[in-house]
């Protein structure tokens, strides 16, 4: 029988997508914080992006299901924790591409990475924020002055 490893669990969880951004994995979004194997139990700590995100319960269920599929005879305990707080600095490089594929621009990231919020359609950095509040807690509404399209941006949280 194959030995269960933390890496195997993380790989399995890579397939769990954000229900509201189906191109983005919870690993790329930095929602997965920690995986521990303790005896015959898999413990998984997740970080909520925004406290009011209605997808949190769905994400928890999807994570439980993915972990159980990997190790059917193992107890799986999934919980959301507040420490450390989730910030947009947890997004990895893959997340930018995944967001863009869904028409959402990346947030301002940490120093040395993207400093301009670019339009997901035409790539222009001539964009402005129309409203900090979009269709979900993690998104803003922006407007591109180059191609004149409104678009959604991932909200910077840090």
Partner 1 sequence: MSDPRASLLFALADDELIMGHRLSEWTGWVPYIEEDLALSSIAQDEIAHARMLLDILSVIDGRDPDALALGRAPSEYRNAILCELPNTDFAFTLARHWLYDHADDVRLRSLQESSFKELREAVAVMLLEERYHLEHADAWFRRLADCPVEARHRFGEALAAAMGPAEALFEPLDDESAIVSAGIAPAYTEELHDEWRARIGGMLDEVGFDQVLASRAEPATGEMVPTSSGEIEASGEAEARTPSVGAGGRRGEHSEHFEPLWLEMTALYRAHPGARW
- Binding-site member from 83, 111, 112, 128 for partner 1 (CB under 8 A): 83
Q: And the tokens for 33?
A: 């914080």
Q: Given the rule CB under 8 A, which of 9-17, 21-29, 63-71, 83-91 is the region that contacts partner 1?
A: 83-91
Q: Which is nearer to partner 1, 12 or 104 (CB)?
A: 104
Place of tokens 């983005």: 24
Q: And the tokens for 49?
A: 């992006």
DSSP 88-103: GGG--HHHHHHHHHTT
Sign of CA dihedral 87, 88, 94, 98: positive
Is position 34 an interface residue for partner 1 (rule: CB under 8 A)?
Answer: no
Is position 22 an interface residue for partner 1 (rule: CB under 8 A)?
Answer: no
CA dihedral 58, 59, 60, 62 (to 10 degrees): 90
- Binding-site member from 50, 89, 102, 121 for partner 1 (CB under 8 A): 50
Least Cα distance to 29 among 113, 115, 94 occurs for 94
Q: Which is nearer to partner 1, 44 or 138 (CB)?
A: 138
Is position 149 an interface residue for partner 1 (rule: CB under 8 A)?
Answer: no
- The rounded distance, in Å, linking the Cα atoms of 27 and 23 is 12
Q: And the tokens for 24?
A: 């983005």
Least Å from the CB of residue 103 to partner 1: 17
Least Å from the CB of residue 2 to partner 1: 37
Residues in contact with partner 1 by CB under 8 A are: 48, 50-53, 81-83, 85-87, 130-135, 137, 141, 155, 157-158
């Amino acid at each position: 029988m194959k030995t269960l490893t933390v890496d195997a669990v993380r790989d399995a969880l890579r397939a769990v997508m954000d229900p509201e951004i189906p191109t983005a994995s919870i690993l790329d979004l930095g929602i997965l914080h920690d995986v521990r194997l303790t005896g015959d139990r898999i413990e998984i700590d997740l970080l909520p992006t925004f406290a009011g995100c209605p997808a949190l319960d769905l994400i928890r269920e999807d994570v439980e299901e993915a972990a159980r599929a990997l190790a059917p005879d193992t107890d799986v305990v999934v919980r959301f924790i507040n420490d450390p707080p989730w910030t947009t600095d947890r997004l990895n490089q893959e997340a930018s591409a995944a967001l863009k594929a869904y028409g959402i621009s990346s947030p301002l990231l940490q120093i040395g990475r993207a400093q301009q919020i670019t339009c997901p359609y035409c790539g222009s950095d001539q964009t402005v924020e129309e409203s900090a509040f979009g269709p979900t807690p993690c998104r803003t509404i922006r407007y591109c002055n180059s191609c004149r399209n409104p678009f959604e941006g991932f909200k910077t949280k840090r």
